[in-house]
Homo-oligomer: A and B are copies of this chain.
Amino acid sequence: MSLESLVNQLKGYDFGNLYHDDFFHTWDKSQDELMAIFTVADALRELRENNKSCRIADSGLAISLFRDNSTRTRFSFASAANLLGLEIQNFDEGESQIAHGETIKETANMISFMADVVGIRDDMYIGKGHTFMKEFSEHVQEGHNDGVLEQRPTIVNLQCDIDHPTQSMADALHLIHEFGGVENLRGKKVAMTWAYSPSYGKPLSVPQGIVGLMTRFGMEVTLAHPEGYEIMSEVEDIARENENKYGGKFTKTYSMAEAFKDADIVYPKSWAPYAAMEKRTDLYAQGDKAGIDALEQELLEQNKSHMDWQCTEELMKTTKDGKALYLHCLPADITGVSTEVGEVDASVFERYRIPLYKEASYKPYIIAAMIFMQKIKNPAAKLEELWAAEAARLADNA
Protein backbone atom coordinates (compact mmCIF):
# COMPACT_ATOMS: atom_id res chain seq x y z
CA MET A 1 0.00 0.00 0.00
CA SER A 2 1.27 3.47 -0.75
CA LEU A 3 2.46 5.76 1.99
CA GLU A 4 -0.40 8.10 1.18
CA SER A 5 -3.02 5.37 1.61
CA LEU A 6 -1.44 4.24 4.87
CA VAL A 7 -1.44 7.77 6.22
CA ASN A 8 -5.08 8.21 5.22
CA GLN A 9 -5.95 4.94 6.92
CA LEU A 10 -4.07 6.06 10.04
CA LYS A 11 -6.03 9.31 10.17
CA GLY A 12 -9.22 7.31 10.63
CA TYR A 13 -8.12 5.74 13.90
CA ASP A 14 -8.39 7.04 17.44
CA PHE A 15 -4.98 6.37 18.97
CA GLY A 16 -4.18 9.42 21.08
CA ASN A 17 -3.72 7.35 24.22
CA LEU A 18 -0.65 5.61 22.82
CA TYR A 19 1.27 8.88 23.07
CA HIS A 20 3.66 8.86 26.05
CA ASP A 21 2.17 5.59 27.30
CA ASP A 22 3.75 2.16 27.79
CA PHE A 23 2.98 -0.97 25.82
CA PHE A 24 2.47 -3.90 28.19
CA HIS A 25 -0.32 -6.12 26.78
CA THR A 26 -2.29 -5.99 23.57
CA TRP A 27 -5.48 -6.21 25.62
CA ASP A 28 -4.69 -2.91 27.32
CA LYS A 29 -5.12 -1.24 23.94
CA SER A 30 -8.19 -0.44 21.88
CA GLN A 31 -8.84 -1.92 18.44
CA ASP A 32 -8.06 1.45 16.85
CA GLU A 33 -4.77 1.65 18.71
CA LEU A 34 -3.69 -1.77 17.47
CA MET A 35 -4.76 -0.95 13.93
CA ALA A 36 -2.80 2.31 14.13
CA ILE A 37 0.34 0.40 15.13
CA PHE A 38 -0.10 -2.05 12.25
CA THR A 39 -0.53 0.87 9.89
CA VAL A 40 2.51 2.74 11.14
CA ALA A 41 4.59 -0.46 10.98
CA ASP A 42 3.61 -0.79 7.31
CA ALA A 43 4.32 2.89 6.73
CA LEU A 44 7.79 2.71 8.27
CA ARG A 45 8.52 -0.32 6.11
CA GLU A 46 7.29 1.56 3.05
CA LEU A 47 9.56 4.47 3.94
CA ARG A 48 12.58 2.26 4.44
CA GLU A 49 11.94 0.25 1.29
CA ASN A 50 11.94 3.55 -0.58
CA ASN A 51 15.24 4.47 1.07
CA LYS A 52 13.67 7.26 3.10
CA SER A 53 15.06 8.16 6.51
CA CYS A 54 12.80 7.23 9.43
CA ARG A 55 14.83 9.17 12.00
CA ILE A 56 12.82 10.98 14.61
CA ALA A 57 15.69 11.45 17.08
CA ASP A 58 19.01 13.18 16.74
CA SER A 59 20.29 11.54 19.91
CA GLY A 60 18.80 9.62 22.80
CA LEU A 61 19.13 6.12 24.21
CA ALA A 62 17.04 3.01 23.81
CA ILE A 63 17.79 0.84 26.82
CA SER A 64 17.67 -2.88 26.27
CA LEU A 65 16.94 -4.52 29.61
CA PHE A 66 16.95 -8.27 29.11
CA ARG A 67 16.71 -10.63 32.01
CA ASP A 68 17.37 -13.63 29.79
CA ASN A 69 19.13 -14.14 26.48
CA SER A 70 17.48 -13.53 23.16
CA THR A 71 19.29 -12.87 19.94
CA ARG A 72 16.21 -12.36 17.82
CA THR A 73 14.29 -9.97 20.03
CA ARG A 74 17.49 -8.10 20.89
CA PHE A 75 18.29 -7.57 17.20
CA SER A 76 14.70 -6.57 16.46
CA PHE A 77 14.77 -3.97 19.21
CA ALA A 78 18.21 -2.73 18.14
CA SER A 79 17.03 -2.46 14.52
CA ALA A 80 13.91 -0.53 15.51
CA ALA A 81 15.83 1.87 17.74
CA ASN A 82 18.51 2.49 15.12
CA LEU A 83 15.86 3.09 12.45
CA LEU A 84 14.41 5.90 14.56
CA GLY A 85 17.78 7.42 15.47
CA LEU A 86 18.13 6.07 19.01
CA GLU A 87 21.30 4.36 20.20
CA ILE A 88 21.05 1.02 21.94
CA GLN A 89 22.54 0.73 25.41
CA ASN A 90 22.40 -2.73 26.93
CA PHE A 91 21.67 -3.17 30.58
CA ASP A 92 22.47 -6.72 31.56
CA GLU A 93 22.59 -6.64 35.31
CA GLY A 94 21.50 -10.03 36.66
CA GLU A 95 18.18 -10.41 38.37
CA SER A 96 19.77 -10.82 41.77
CA GLN A 97 21.17 -7.31 41.67
CA ILE A 98 17.89 -5.57 40.98
CA ALA A 99 15.53 -7.92 42.74
CA HIS A 100 14.98 -5.64 45.68
CA GLY A 101 12.27 -2.96 45.60
CA GLU A 102 14.42 -0.04 46.53
CA THR A 103 17.03 -1.02 44.05
CA ILE A 104 14.62 -1.32 41.12
CA LYS A 105 13.51 2.23 41.81
CA GLU A 106 17.08 3.44 41.93
CA THR A 107 18.24 1.51 38.89
CA ALA A 108 15.22 2.63 36.86
CA ASN A 109 16.18 6.24 37.48
CA MET A 110 19.94 5.82 37.14
CA ILE A 111 19.75 4.30 33.64
CA SER A 112 17.02 6.62 32.36
CA PHE A 113 18.60 10.09 32.47
CA MET A 114 18.76 10.20 28.69
CA ALA A 115 16.56 7.24 27.80
CA ASP A 116 13.60 7.66 25.47
CA VAL A 117 12.53 4.05 25.56
CA VAL A 118 13.26 0.97 27.63
CA GLY A 119 12.66 -2.43 26.07
CA ILE A 120 12.24 -5.04 28.78
CA ARG A 121 12.27 -8.80 28.43
CA ASP A 122 11.51 -10.72 31.60
CA ASP A 123 9.62 -13.91 30.92
CA MET A 124 11.20 -16.49 33.18
CA TYR A 125 9.12 -16.44 36.31
CA ILE A 126 5.37 -16.52 36.57
CA GLY A 127 4.07 -13.49 38.41
CA LYS A 128 7.34 -11.60 38.05
CA GLY A 129 7.91 -10.24 34.56
CA HIS A 130 4.89 -7.99 34.16
CA THR A 131 5.13 -6.90 37.79
CA PHE A 132 8.71 -5.83 37.20
CA MET A 133 7.77 -3.81 34.12
CA LYS A 134 4.90 -2.09 35.92
CA GLU A 135 7.16 -1.19 38.82
CA PHE A 136 9.85 0.07 36.47
CA SER A 137 7.27 2.21 34.72
CA GLU A 138 5.96 3.65 37.98
CA HIS A 139 9.47 4.46 39.12
CA VAL A 140 10.40 6.40 35.98
CA GLN A 141 7.05 8.19 36.07
CA GLU A 142 7.75 9.19 39.65
CA GLY A 143 11.31 10.19 38.67
CA HIS A 144 9.88 12.39 35.95
CA ASN A 145 7.27 13.92 38.25
CA ASP A 146 9.95 14.62 40.86
CA GLY A 147 12.14 16.45 38.36
CA VAL A 148 14.83 13.76 38.34
CA LEU A 149 14.22 12.69 34.74
CA GLU A 150 13.79 15.33 32.05
CA GLN A 151 11.80 12.89 29.96
CA ARG A 152 9.95 9.78 31.00
CA PRO A 153 11.15 6.80 28.96
CA THR A 154 8.30 4.69 27.71
CA ILE A 155 8.34 0.94 28.17
CA VAL A 156 7.99 -1.64 25.44
CA ASN A 157 7.26 -5.16 26.69
CA LEU A 158 9.62 -7.39 24.74
CA GLN A 159 8.13 -10.46 26.45
CA CYS A 160 6.85 -10.90 29.95
CA ASP A 161 5.31 -13.82 31.81
CA ILE A 162 1.81 -12.90 30.54
CA ASP A 163 2.06 -11.45 27.04
CA HIS A 164 4.54 -11.19 24.17
CA PRO A 165 2.93 -8.31 22.28
CA THR A 166 5.73 -7.59 19.80
CA GLN A 167 5.56 -11.26 18.74
CA SER A 168 1.78 -11.57 18.53
CA MET A 169 1.48 -8.21 16.73
CA ALA A 170 4.17 -9.25 14.22
CA ASP A 171 2.31 -12.55 13.76
CA ALA A 172 -0.95 -10.68 13.23
CA LEU A 173 0.57 -8.25 10.73
CA HIS A 174 1.93 -11.26 8.86
CA LEU A 175 -1.60 -12.71 8.75
CA ILE A 176 -3.05 -9.40 7.58
CA HIS A 177 -0.60 -9.40 4.68
CA GLU A 178 -0.97 -13.11 3.87
CA PHE A 179 -4.78 -12.92 3.85
CA GLY A 180 -4.93 -9.55 2.13
CA GLY A 181 -6.35 -7.36 4.87
CA VAL A 182 -7.57 -7.54 8.45
CA GLU A 183 -11.16 -7.85 7.25
CA ASN A 184 -10.26 -11.16 5.61
CA LEU A 185 -9.27 -12.64 8.96
CA ARG A 186 -12.91 -12.74 10.09
CA GLY A 187 -14.09 -16.32 10.41
CA LYS A 188 -10.64 -17.81 9.90
CA LYS A 189 -9.85 -20.81 12.11
CA VAL A 190 -6.65 -20.57 14.16
CA ALA A 191 -5.20 -23.59 15.98
CA MET A 192 -2.92 -22.45 18.79
CA THR A 193 -1.69 -25.82 19.97
CA TRP A 194 0.90 -27.21 22.29
CA ALA A 195 3.57 -29.34 20.59
CA TYR A 196 6.16 -31.72 21.92
CA SER A 197 9.72 -30.58 22.60
CA PRO A 198 12.51 -32.32 24.48
CA SER A 199 13.18 -29.11 26.41
CA TYR A 200 11.36 -27.66 29.36
CA GLY A 201 10.31 -24.35 30.80
CA LYS A 202 9.42 -22.53 27.59
CA PRO A 203 7.40 -19.42 28.42
CA LEU A 204 3.62 -19.31 28.15
CA SER A 205 3.54 -15.78 26.83
CA VAL A 206 3.47 -16.82 23.18
CA PRO A 207 0.27 -18.93 23.33
CA GLN A 208 -1.22 -16.42 25.76
CA GLY A 209 -0.36 -13.52 23.48
CA ILE A 210 -1.90 -15.35 20.51
CA VAL A 211 -5.24 -16.25 22.13
CA GLY A 212 -5.45 -12.77 23.68
CA LEU A 213 -4.89 -11.02 20.36
CA MET A 214 -6.22 -13.24 17.55
CA THR A 215 -9.68 -13.43 19.13
CA ARG A 216 -10.00 -9.71 18.37
CA PHE A 217 -10.16 -9.97 14.63
CA GLY A 218 -13.24 -12.15 14.43
CA MET A 219 -11.18 -15.32 14.14
CA GLU A 220 -12.15 -18.67 15.63
CA VAL A 221 -9.27 -19.50 17.90
CA THR A 222 -8.89 -22.99 19.32
CA LEU A 223 -6.41 -23.54 22.12
CA ALA A 224 -5.26 -27.15 22.28
CA HIS A 225 -2.93 -28.78 24.77
CA PRO A 226 -2.61 -31.94 26.83
CA GLU A 227 -4.22 -31.92 30.24
CA GLY A 228 -1.95 -30.19 32.70
CA TYR A 229 -0.59 -27.68 30.19
CA GLU A 230 -3.15 -24.99 30.95
CA ILE A 231 -2.25 -21.37 30.33
CA MET A 232 -3.08 -18.55 32.78
CA SER A 233 -6.80 -18.43 33.38
CA GLU A 234 -6.87 -14.63 33.30
CA VAL A 235 -5.75 -14.72 29.67
CA GLU A 236 -8.38 -17.31 28.81
CA ASP A 237 -10.90 -14.90 30.35
CA ILE A 238 -9.66 -12.16 28.04
CA ALA A 239 -10.05 -14.45 25.04
CA ARG A 240 -13.62 -15.26 26.10
CA GLU A 241 -14.48 -11.59 26.59
CA ASN A 242 -13.16 -10.93 23.10
CA GLU A 243 -15.79 -13.34 21.74
CA ASN A 244 -18.50 -10.92 22.67
CA LYS A 245 -16.67 -7.72 21.97
CA TYR A 246 -15.27 -8.58 18.59
CA GLY A 247 -17.44 -11.40 17.31
CA GLY A 248 -14.79 -14.08 17.23
CA LYS A 249 -14.74 -17.40 18.99
CA PHE A 250 -12.53 -19.05 21.59
CA THR A 251 -12.60 -22.82 22.11
CA LYS A 252 -10.49 -25.19 24.16
CA THR A 253 -9.68 -28.81 23.51
CA TYR A 254 -7.32 -31.53 24.64
CA SER A 255 -6.93 -32.77 21.10
CA MET A 256 -4.39 -31.46 18.62
CA ALA A 257 -6.24 -33.23 15.80
CA GLU A 258 -9.46 -31.45 16.67
CA ALA A 259 -7.75 -28.07 16.62
CA PHE A 260 -6.05 -28.73 13.30
CA LYS A 261 -9.23 -29.96 11.60
CA ASP A 262 -10.07 -27.41 8.86
CA ALA A 263 -7.82 -24.79 10.42
CA ASP A 264 -6.71 -21.87 8.23
CA ILE A 265 -3.77 -21.13 10.47
CA VAL A 266 -1.81 -23.42 12.80
CA TYR A 267 0.64 -22.39 15.52
CA PRO A 268 2.04 -25.57 17.12
CA LYS A 269 4.54 -24.74 19.85
CA SER A 270 5.85 -26.13 23.08
CA TRP A 271 5.28 -24.44 26.42
CA ALA A 272 5.54 -25.31 30.06
CA PRO A 273 2.57 -26.12 32.30
CA TYR A 274 1.47 -23.03 34.22
CA ALA A 275 1.31 -24.87 37.53
CA ALA A 276 4.84 -26.17 37.08
CA MET A 277 6.08 -22.67 36.27
CA GLU A 278 4.45 -21.38 39.44
CA LYS A 279 6.20 -24.13 41.37
CA ARG A 280 9.51 -23.29 39.72
CA THR A 281 9.12 -19.63 40.61
CA ASP A 282 8.65 -20.66 44.26
CA LEU A 283 11.65 -22.98 44.15
CA TYR A 284 13.80 -20.20 42.74
CA ALA A 285 12.58 -17.84 45.44
CA GLN A 286 13.63 -20.45 48.01
CA GLY A 287 16.92 -21.08 46.24
CA ASP A 288 16.02 -24.79 46.18
CA LYS A 289 18.43 -26.07 43.50
CA ALA A 290 17.65 -29.73 44.15
CA GLY A 291 13.96 -29.00 43.85
CA ILE A 292 14.50 -27.19 40.56
CA ASP A 293 16.51 -30.09 39.15
CA ALA A 294 13.87 -32.59 40.26
CA LEU A 295 11.14 -30.46 38.70
CA GLU A 296 13.08 -30.29 35.44
CA GLN A 297 13.31 -34.09 35.27
CA GLU A 298 9.64 -34.40 36.12
CA LEU A 299 8.65 -31.97 33.38
CA LEU A 300 10.81 -33.62 30.76
CA GLU A 301 9.16 -36.94 31.66
CA GLN A 302 5.73 -35.34 31.53
CA ASN A 303 6.53 -33.91 28.06
CA LYS A 304 7.55 -37.36 26.87
CA SER A 305 4.11 -38.74 27.52
CA HIS A 306 2.83 -36.31 24.88
CA MET A 307 5.29 -37.03 22.10
CA ASP A 308 2.37 -37.58 19.74
CA TRP A 309 1.71 -33.81 19.79
CA GLN A 310 3.69 -33.09 16.64
CA CYS A 311 2.88 -31.00 13.61
CA THR A 312 3.25 -33.80 11.06
CA GLU A 313 2.54 -33.86 7.35
CA GLU A 314 -0.42 -36.12 8.11
CA LEU A 315 -1.89 -33.61 10.50
CA MET A 316 -1.30 -30.74 8.10
CA LYS A 317 -3.40 -32.62 5.53
CA THR A 318 -6.41 -32.32 7.82
CA THR A 319 -6.26 -28.51 7.76
CA LYS A 320 -8.24 -26.32 5.33
CA ASP A 321 -7.43 -27.69 1.87
CA GLY A 322 -4.37 -29.25 3.52
CA LYS A 323 -2.79 -25.82 3.30
CA ALA A 324 -3.14 -24.04 6.61
CA LEU A 325 -0.58 -21.30 7.14
CA TYR A 326 2.01 -22.54 9.61
CA LEU A 327 3.22 -19.98 12.17
CA HIS A 328 6.03 -20.11 14.71
CA CYS A 329 7.91 -17.52 16.76
CA LEU A 330 11.21 -19.30 15.99
CA PRO A 331 13.45 -21.05 16.66
CA ALA A 332 11.38 -24.22 16.27
CA ASP A 333 12.35 -27.68 17.44
CA ILE A 334 12.38 -29.46 14.09
CA THR A 335 12.22 -33.25 14.01
CA GLY A 336 15.41 -34.70 12.61
CA VAL A 337 17.01 -31.29 12.25
CA SER A 338 17.47 -29.44 15.50
CA THR A 339 16.25 -32.36 17.64
CA GLU A 340 15.42 -36.04 17.22
CA VAL A 341 11.71 -35.61 17.79
CA GLY A 342 10.26 -32.12 18.02
CA GLU A 343 7.41 -29.74 17.38
CA VAL A 344 7.28 -30.06 13.62
CA ASP A 345 8.23 -32.30 10.71
CA ALA A 346 11.22 -31.06 8.76
CA SER A 347 9.31 -31.10 5.48
CA VAL A 348 6.47 -29.00 6.93
CA PHE A 349 8.90 -26.47 8.37
CA GLU A 350 10.89 -26.27 5.15
CA ARG A 351 7.73 -25.70 3.07
CA TYR A 352 6.86 -22.70 5.24
CA ARG A 353 10.37 -21.39 5.80
CA ILE A 354 10.02 -18.26 3.69
CA PRO A 355 6.66 -17.22 5.20
CA LEU A 356 8.15 -17.91 8.65
CA TYR A 357 11.07 -15.58 7.99
CA LYS A 358 8.66 -12.96 6.67
CA GLU A 359 6.58 -13.36 9.84
CA ALA A 360 9.74 -12.59 11.85
CA SER A 361 10.60 -9.64 9.62
CA TYR A 362 7.61 -7.68 10.90
CA LYS A 363 8.91 -7.58 14.46
CA PRO A 364 11.43 -4.73 14.06
CA TYR A 365 8.69 -2.64 12.39
CA ILE A 366 6.10 -3.45 15.05
CA ILE A 367 8.57 -2.36 17.73
CA ALA A 368 9.51 0.77 15.79
CA ALA A 369 5.82 1.60 15.33
CA MET A 370 5.16 1.21 19.06
CA ILE A 371 8.01 3.61 19.85
CA PHE A 372 6.94 5.99 17.08
CA MET A 373 3.42 6.21 18.52
CA GLN A 374 4.80 6.72 22.03
CA LYS A 375 7.00 9.60 20.94
CA ILE A 376 5.17 11.41 18.15
CA LYS A 377 2.00 13.32 18.90
CA ASN A 378 0.89 13.57 15.29
CA PRO A 379 2.25 10.49 13.53
CA ALA A 380 0.35 11.05 10.28
CA ALA A 381 1.98 14.44 9.76
CA LYS A 382 5.38 13.06 10.74
CA LEU A 383 5.10 10.18 8.24
CA GLU A 384 4.19 12.64 5.49
CA GLU A 385 7.12 14.81 6.47
CA LEU A 386 9.55 11.85 6.36
CA TRP A 387 8.17 10.84 2.95
CA ALA A 388 8.57 14.35 1.58
CA ALA A 389 12.06 14.85 3.00
CA GLU A 390 15.08 14.46 0.75
CA ALA A 391 17.10 12.56 3.36
CA ALA A 392 17.99 9.09 2.11
CA ARG A 393 18.57 6.29 4.57
CA LEU A 394 21.50 5.05 2.53
CA ALA A 395 22.95 7.77 0.35
CA ASP A 396 23.67 5.56 -2.61
CA ASN A 397 23.77 7.56 -5.82
CA ALA A 398 22.89 4.63 -8.10
Q: From residue A311, how far is it (CB to closest CB) to chain B in Å?
A: 16
User: A110 and B360: CB pair below 8 A?
Assistant: yes
Q: Identify the stretch in A31-39, A72-80, A155-163, A181-189 within 8 Å (CB) of chain B at 4 or more residues.
A: A72-80
- Tell whether A60 is near chain B: CB-to-CB under 8 Å: yes
Partner of A397, one of B82, B88, B103, B378: B378
- In the complex, which range does the number of interface residues on chain A fall in? 35 or more
- Tell whether A334 is near chain B: CB-to-CB under 8 Å: yes
- Tell whether A218 is near chain B: CB-to-CB under 8 Å: no
Partner of A392, one of B49, B58, B89, B110: B58
Q: Identify the stretch in A5-13, A145-153, A298-306 within 8 Å (CB) of chain B at 4 or more residues.
A: A145-153
Residues A44-63 near B (CB distance < 8 A): 45, 48-49, 53-61
Q: Identify the stretch in A111-119, A207-215, A231-239 within 8 Å (CB) of chain B at 4 or more residues.
A: A111-119
User: B378 and A395: CB pair below 8 A?
Assistant: no
Measured in the bound complex, the distance between the Cα atoms of B150 and A152 in whole Å is 33
Measured in the bound complex, the distance between the Cα atoms of B109 and A47 in whole Å is 21
Partner of A361, one of B53, B72, B89, B149: B149
User: A113 and B330: CB pair below 8 A?
Assistant: no
Chain B residues in 8 Å Cβ range of A59: 53-55, 82-85, 393
Chain B residues in 8 Å Cβ range of A114: 48, 79, 82-83, 364
User: A357 and B56: CB pair below 8 A?
Assistant: no
Q: From residue A320, how far is it (CB to closest CB) to chain B in Å?
A: 24
Measured CB to CB, the nearest residue on chain B to A116 is B394
Chain B residues in 8 Å Cβ range of A53: 58-59
User: A146 and B394: CB pair below 8 A?
Assistant: no
Nearest 4 A/B pairs, CB to CB: A377-B398, A79-B114, A148-B357, A53-B58
